[in-house]
Homo-oligomer: A and B are copies of this chain.
Amino acid sequence: MRQSQLFTKTRREAPKDEVAKNAELLIRAGFIHKELAGVYSYLPLGLRVLNNIVQVIREEMNAIGGQELYLTALQDPNVWKKSGRWDDVAVDNWFKTKLKNDTELGLGFTHEEQLTNLMKDYISSFRDLPFSAYQFQTKFRNEARAKSGIMRAREFLMKDLYSFSRDEKEHVDFYEKAKAAYVKIFERLGLGDETYITFASGGSFSKYSHEFQTLSDAGEDMIYIDEKKKIAVNKEVLNDEVLNDLGLDRKNLIEKKAVEVGNIFSLGTRFSDAFDLNYLDMDGKKKPVVMGSYGIGPGRVMGVIAETMSDDHGLVWPRGIAPFDVHLVVIFDKGGTAKKEADALYDELLKNGTSVLYDDRDLRPGEKFADSDLIGIPTRVVVSEKNLKEGKFEVKDRKSGKVEMVVKGELGKILEK
């Protein structure tokens, strides 16, 4: 895309009431817009990043057999009363609204109830199991405070997958597959090294749940990591019994702040009991379905990347997640050929399937470079009169800052790295 056409522009300052570093940077770079505390719109650059994250997650959910669907935000109170979670005392972050006839409805903060209820139409026999279903859907959570930018929003996109199994063994098989898929997802998102599988409390049906915690000073969780074993324990469950269970030694643990970027949870029969979601097994015996839930917030992941990978100059996107592969910047020189060469290079890159933000604006070089650093596309290619005299382009890696002068014909090879 030509940057002269992009309607967003970088800004020197974020709104005064914005306290989160991730939102501040993303607003300044034109990726998001703050509507209200905890309520952010995604502008073209931001939506491209969000969609890239969504696509990575979707591919890995499909790879473990997840079937994509799309549930509603509006929630029927009668469904939630069955599990006891309609009450504002039981759940303190509902947003509720009303139909014209005064019937109260909720805005989904999660979807266990709705999906369990729906599955009564489709599960009756052991032949219908096992399977899993997932969605990318907007959740609404009425947070009392919302000061973490897009890392904890009141309205946010969530990938939630739910598994339906015949018994505990079948459930555990899927649970382990999902866990491995999550490890792969965070690696692909560039967060692998900083993300720890973290043991957390499991509720009534399993001793532990597993959180995926990414180290960050902006995190709200405190975790204890064993670097060698690459696992961690959430502070809330850290005790001798747990350490013993996991074969961990307290003296090898390091306390770190972290952000929960994903979590996987065995639900047992909590919801199937509440909704009578049963099946007939091979012997004709009625049994409850065993469920699990598996969440990742793509917006939160984007916030964590903005928060932890940025530097003093701005955002630094990992390849594959970045809004574009290449930021092509032309330095105008009156009467020169730089613009023509850059136009040709732009067309060539697009033809090769490289996604390019092309800064074709007639601005001072310093301004263009500052914008480029703030936006944080992994590779910057500068076309200027001076370098063209030597038949070269300047290629800069945003992350390392390393600059290479590349002979025109060699650019393709460099970009493939």
- Which of A72-80, A237-245, A343-351, A393-401 is found at the contact surface with chain B? A72-80
Contact B73 A7 (CB under 8 A): no
Assuming the contacts A44-B67, A44-B69, A128-B7, asked whether A74 and B140 have C-beta atoms less than 8 A apart, the reply is yes
User: How long is the Cα–Cα vector from A42 to B392 in the complex, in angstroms?
Assistant: 53
**CA A36 – CA B100 in complex, angstroms?**
14
In the complex, which residues 45-83 of chain A have their Cβ closer than 8 Å to any Cβ of chain B? 46-47, 50, 65, 67-76
CB distance from A83 to the nearest CB of B (A): 16
Interface pick from A91-99, A206-214, A376-384: A91-99
Which residues of chain B are within 8 angstroms of A68 by Cβ–Cβ distance?
44, 47
**Interchain CA distance A54-B12 in the complex, whole Å:** 36
Question: Number of A interface residues, CB 8 Å?
Answer: 55
Q: How far is the CA of A33 from the CA of B47 in the complex (A)?
A: 29
- The CA of A47 and the CA of B50, in the complex, are separated in Å by 20
Stretch of A114-122, A177-185, A219-227 with 4 or more beta carbons under 8 angstroms from chain B: A114-122
Instruction: Tell me whether chain A's interface is mostly helix, strand or loop, or mixed.
Output: mixed
- A407 on the interface (CB 8 Å rule)? no
A142 to B104, CA, bound (A): 12
Is A138 an interface residue when CB atoms closer than 8 A count as contact?
Answer: yes
Interface string of A1-25 (1 = CB under 8 A from B): 0000111110100000000000000
- Given that A39-B72, A74-B35, A74-B140 are known contacts, is A7 also in contact with B67, CB under 8 Å in the complex? yes
Q: Interface centre among A30, A68, A144, by most B CB within 10 Å?
A: A68
Contact of A35 among B76, B96, B98, B100 (CB under 8 A): B76
**CB proximity of A293 to chain B, nearest CB, Å:** 16
Q: Are B44 and A74 in contact (CB under 8 A)?
A: no
> Distance (Å) between the CB of A160 and the closest chain B CB?
13
Complex CA distance for A44 and B105, rounded to whole angstroms: 25
A194 an interface residue at 8 Å Cβ cutoff?
Answer: no
Query: Is B8 touching A122 in the complex (CB atoms < 8 A)?
Result: yes
Q: Are B133 and A35 in contact (CB under 8 A)?
A: no
Question: Which residues of chain B have C-beta atoms less than 8 A from A119's C-beta?
Answer: 7
A406 contacts B by Cβ under 8 Å = no
* Residue pair A7, B39 in contact (C-beta under 8 Å): no
Number of copies: 2
Minimum C-beta distance from A9 to chain B (A): 6
Least Cβ–Cβ distance between A341 and chain B, in angstroms:
24
- Chain B residues, Cβ within 8 Å of A122: 7-9, 30
| In the bound complex, CA of A133 to CA of B1 (Å) | 14
Contacts A95-B97, A121-B33, A122-B9; is A114 near B74 (CB within 8 Å)? no
A166–chain B nearest beta-carbon distance, Å: 14
Cβ-based interface call for A280 (8 A): no
- Compute how far the CA of A123 lies from the CA of B72 in the bound complex, rounded to whole angstroms: 35
Residues in B whose Cβ lies below 8 Å from that of A99: 142, 154
**Which residues of the partner chain B approach A43 to less than 8 Å between Cβ atoms?**
69
Docked pose: A107 CA to B41 CA in angstroms: 14
Q: How far is the CA of A74 from the CA of B105 in the complex (A)?
A: 15
Is the CB–CB distance between A74 and B131 below 8 Å? no
CA distance A8 to B40 in the complex (A): 35
- B74 x A33 contact (CB < 8 A): no
| 3 residue pairs, one from A and one from B, having the closest CB atoms | A42-B70, A41-B71, A95-B97
Residues of A within 8 A of B (CB): 5-9, 11, 30, 33, 35-36, 39-44, 46-47, 50, 65, 67-76, 95-100, 105, 107, 114, 118-119, 121-123, 128, 131, 133, 138, 140, 142-144, 154-155, 164
Sample of 14 more A-B contacts, CB < 8 Å, known A41-B69, A41-B72, A99-B154: A6-B67, A33-B118, A33-B121, A35-B74, A35-B75, A35-B76, A35-B114, A44-B67, A46-B69, A72-B155, A73-B73, A96-B98, A100-B143, A138-B138
